[in-house]
A and B are shown apart, each in its own frame.
Chain A
Amino acid sequence: MTKTLLLAATAAIAFAFPAAAQTVAITNAKVVIGDGSQPVEGGTVVIRDGRVVAAGPGVAVPAGVRVIDAGGKWVSPGIFAGFTRLGIVEVDGVDETNDSGASNAPFHASIDVAPAVNPKSTPIAINRAEGITRAVVAPDNRGSIFAGQGAIIDLGADMDAVSKPRAFQFMEWGESGARAAGGSRAAAYATLKNTLFEVRDYIRAPGSYTDRGKDAFLTRADAEALVPVVQGRTPLLIHVERASDMLVLLQLKKELPGLKMVFVGATEGWTVASQIAAAGVPVIATALNDLPESFEQLAASQSNVGRMTAAGVTVAIGTINQDEARQARWEKQYAGNLVALTKVPGATGLDWGAAFAAISSKPAEVLGMGAEFGSLKPGRRGDVVIWDGDPLEIGTSVTNVFIDGVEQPLDTRWTRLRQRYLDPKEGALPKAYQR
């Protein structure tokens, strides 16, 4: 990340800071930094002004601050969900509540999910109550290989959800890219090359770039949105699954080294892991894809993440087109399963620290924001979770969630429905009166 970009990013997110950040010291904790290291017992985490001051053993507790004795429990950075559609969908099957894609829109690359994010959507509260504190939110493509501009959001209970709008451009490649481009991979490639060409035209003379409307290959707005991508200031997240498709993109990156490519999905990534690593392209992978669900995923294996990581690729976990509007919470379970693989002969998994990093610091690093989010290193956002056990183990719950240093409510529709129906029988009044 260039210094200029860092400043720009900081400015862009400054407005989203909540006001009520506390100074908190969490003591007697089993501390998970989130950077890939293993947990350390007897540690302290200090949050001040919405950021982590220090975390680990031997950290002094400032005088006069709120102290939470964790009683030996686990304390970690909040989970950073690597790829989601959180906050832009309430019910997938109810179109009016689903802002992930726009089939009839004239715009594509310029679509910006940020204004569609609803901090009060049910999935945000449910995921917050399970320790998810940040998320990559991507639009879904319709009628173009370009889906639009995604955001980084927090899952706080306030109304300022967007931490960084227009954090990346999202593009479909492979089978879905081919479909969007008219029916073939070759057409998708032609579309991409032509788009880059037109964006350069726009950069040379934005004033004379003609907007040809819906029939154009690239509207003025779409061209403008792609300028920071072409100039290497904004990452281009590319959904790609097949090994040969990844190699085509890596070749393109040689021609355009400024492009900040990130692969999303990458089911067959393990078969070309050394090339991905050499190109320095990070990956947001589906954790447990092991079925040949399509002909571009024939080599699917749960060892994909482990093998790519072992080859030196920076790999984060995301929920790519798999319940991505609601179930970022499953990423903890997915990461735990990657640890389980270390006991399966012939499989490659991740050790515990690496598995946790894949859902905390790695997503932030992949997006170029590792200095801001995803770990308990000093200066990071105060996204901190106290757990009643191993956060990757089934059955572990959160006890406290802080986002930007603000302690969060943990009530959801789930807890309300459960309270009402724990005894399903009706009492002196109908259930509608019981709350």
Chain B
Amino acid sequence: MMLGALAGLAACDTGGSRAQSASSDPAPAAAGGPGKGKGYSHDPFPSTYHAYPGTPTLLTNVTVLDGEGGRIDNGQVLFRDGKIVAVGQNLATDGATVIDGKGKYVTPGVIDIHSHLGDYPSPGVQANSDGNEMTGPVTADVWAEHSVWPQDPGFGRALANGGVTTLQILPGSANLMGGRSVVVKNVYARTMQAMKFPGAPYGLKMACGENPKRVYGSKGRMPSTRMGNIAVDRATWARAVEYKRRWDRYEEKGGEAPSRDIAMDTLRGVLEGEILVQNHCYRADEMAIVMDMAKEFGYHVSAFHHAVEAYKIADLLKANNTCAAVWADWYGFKMEAYDAVPENLAILDKEGACAMIHSDDANGIQRLNQEVAKARSSGIKAGMNISEEHAWTWLAINPARALGIADKTGSLKPGKMADVVLWNGNPFSVYTRPEMVWVDGALLYDAKDPKRRPVSDFELGQPGEGDVK
């Protein structure tokens, strides 16, 4: 756990993705305002990501876990032009490169909904520490993407050792409203924009509990208590509702444009459902309060992140259609993590709540398959029946839904991005590693080929350059 007590804020959401549409020219419409959502740019730092070239590939003789709960033993996966073409048996080779994966598993790429790669990169020196804007409890104006260092060696580790193909990078949890998150494809690039997942909604990182009250209480300012946390949140949401009303009116009817407030832009986006709330929260009682606060102001919490006590209110989370993104077995590092149990994820799942695994850690992200294996086995030992194919939803379609990208990735369905991992065995075993990883159909890691192993700029010319790591 690198980030210690400040780490982690996340939320999952089942909201549909709403692509960030670049604002069109803010020229006023003839008989009124510029039009809904057109008062200012919603996408000033657009994605320039492009898929790398790939070879049409048929993986055969493999156990397929499709990421939505489906399983095919002795199955096949065919992808071409960056997209999944078919999953099944007896597929036509159709000129594709055939890879025999006897005894191996194929899954969709791992999705980590909670990462700080790039904004708390390695090396973790102060000069690189860009994850928490700890100068005020509400910094909805900051965007994690403006901190992401695309040369973080951690991206390559997550790809090669963890099979991670998509991740959400969040601001830290020092603040009640820590800023916007960004979803990236795990593909090295010269710029952050060139990693940015095309069409993925933004998230707003919020935090409850110990971190904000400790950080600001110790500075002698509000909030210094949990009640202070909620008071500042509500005051801010009340302003956001007003901001949204003014901008909605202007965009519809014209007149003088209201003052821009970059923080309020983000909160307005949340109230519109365009930006998904990813809410760091540990205790059950606090999560319940936050869900009611969301109703009070008209937004929805996509997911609670960490959520170590989510199991206590699994029914409430289900009723609110709010997900929980959790660790398998972290506990006790801070007071609000004291009641963690390793059955958390399994109990949520059993109760029908939306649940998933997350890392919040540059080491943990390399073993999310093992974290899912631990969570599954804890559930099984507690008497639950959890298949491998079902458990894989916890790092595939469930986080994809909570990020609003389930129409694009998160499972091996025809037409989706060919984000694919070939494991050298059963990925629920400690003895298994990724063998090949494709992102949008491009082979970006091959355990047998040192040339298909990324080396970030930072590691060039350093001891161990290009090592297996």
The residues of A with any CB-CB pair to B shorter than 8 Å are: 90-94, 122-123, 126, 243, 268, 271, 288, 290-295, 297-303, 322-323, 325-326, 333, 336-337, 339-341, 343-347, 392-395, 397, 413-414, 417-418, 421-422, 424-425, 431
Contact = CB atoms under 8 A, between A and B. Distances in A.
Interface string B281-324: 00000000000000000000000000000011111000000000
B342 interface: yes
Given A333-B370, A394-B374, A92 B125 contact: no
Contact of B458 (A93, A292, A325, A339): A292
Contacts of B380: 395
B348 to A, nearest CB: 9
B469 A290 contact: yes
A290 B377 CA distance: 27
Contacts of B311: 421, 424
B203 interface: no
A288 B364 CA distance: 11
Interface in B210-255: 210
Contacts of A414: 331, 341-342
Given A93-B334, A293-B2, A294-B125, A394 B468 contact: no
Contacts of A421: 311-312, 341, 347
B123 A293 contact: yes
Given A290-B157, A293-B123, A425 B315 contact: yes
A291 B332 contact: no
B432 interface: yes
Nearest to A336: B430
A278 to B, nearest CB: 20
B178 to A, nearest CB: 19
A414 B308 CA distance: 12
A59 to B, nearest CB: 30
B19 interface: no
B448 A345 contact: yes
A414 B381 CA distance: 13
Nearest to A426: B315
Contact of A243 (B373, B459, B463): B463
A292 B153 contact: yes
B6 to A, nearest CB: 10
Interface string B3-16: 01100000000000
B265 to A, nearest CB: 34
Given A337-B367, A340-B430, 10 more contacts: A91-B335, A92-B333, A93-B5, A94-B335, A294-B123, A303-B468, A326-B332, A333-B374, A343-B433, A422-B347
A418 B335 CA distance: 18
Given A292-B123, A392-B430, A394-B429, A326 B464 contact: no
B108 to A, nearest CB: 20
Nearest to A268: B463
B447 interface: yes
A83 B214 CA distance: 30
B129 interface: no
Contacts of B210: 93
Nearest to B377: A395
Contact of B469 (A91, A300, A337, A417): A300
B463 A299 contact: yes
Most buried by A among B5, B153, B314, B468: B468
A290 B383 CA distance: 36
B1 A322 contact: yes
B467 A93 contact: no
A264 to B, nearest CB: 18
Contacts of A340: 430-433
Interface in B101-115: none
B431 A336 contact: yes
Which are the 7 A-B pairs with shortest beta-carbon distances? A395-B377, A336-B430, A93-B334, A299-B464, A299-B463, A394-B373, A347-B468
Contacts of A418: 341, 343, 347, 382
Nearest to B343: A418
A92 B334 contact: yes
B333 A91 contact: yes
Contact of B431 (A94, A268, A292, A339): A339
B64 to A, nearest CB: 21
Contacts of A431: 312
Given A93-B334, A303-B467, A418-B382, A295 B123 contact: yes
B468 A393 contact: no
B175 interface: no
Contacts of A290: 157, 161, 366, 469
A417 B312 CA distance: 9
Interface in B1-47: 1-2, 4-5
A301 B469 contact: yes
B338 interface: yes
Nearest to A425: B315
B141 to A, nearest CB: 29
16 contacts: A90-B332, A91-B332, A91-B334, A93-B5, A122-B332, A290-B157, A290-B469, A298-B464, A299-B464, A322-B363, A326-B333, A345-B448, A346-B468, A394-B428, A422-B343, A424-B312
B363 A288 contact: yes
B347 A417 contact: no
Contacts of B468: 301-303, 344-347
B421 interface: no
A344 B312 contact: no
Most buried by B among A90, A94, A325, A337: A337
B258 interface: no
A418 B347 CA distance: 9
Interface string B439-462: 000000001101000000011001
A394 B334 contact: no
B425 to A, nearest CB: 8
A301 B467 contact: yes
Interface string B347-390: 10001000000000011001100100110110011110000000
Given A90-B332, A291-B153, A346-B450, A298 B462 contact: yes
A269 to B, nearest CB: 12
